[in-house]
Amino acid sequence: MIKAIITTLILSLSAFAHGIYYDLIEGAIAVRITAPNNVPISNAKVTIYAPEASLAFVEGRSDINGNFAFLPDSRGIWKVLINADSDHGGHLKEFTINIDDKFKIKDFEKPPYERYLTIISVLGLLFGIFGIFAMVKSRKDTIK
Q: How crowded is the C-beta side of 80, counted as CA atoms within 13 Å?
A: 26
pLDDT reported for residue 19? 59
pLDDT < 70: residue spans in the chain = 4-20, 22, 24, 111-117, 143-144
Beta-bridged to residue 60, according to DSSP, are: 46
pLDDT reported for residue 142? 72
Q: Give the span between the Cα atoms of 104 and 71, in whole angstroms.
A: 10
Q: Kindly report the pTM of this predicted structure.
A: 0.64
Q: Give the span between the Cα atoms of 107 and 24, in whole angstroms.
A: 25
Q: Report whether 55 contacts 61 (CB < 8 A).
A: no
Question: Which run of H or E residues covers position 41?
Answer: none
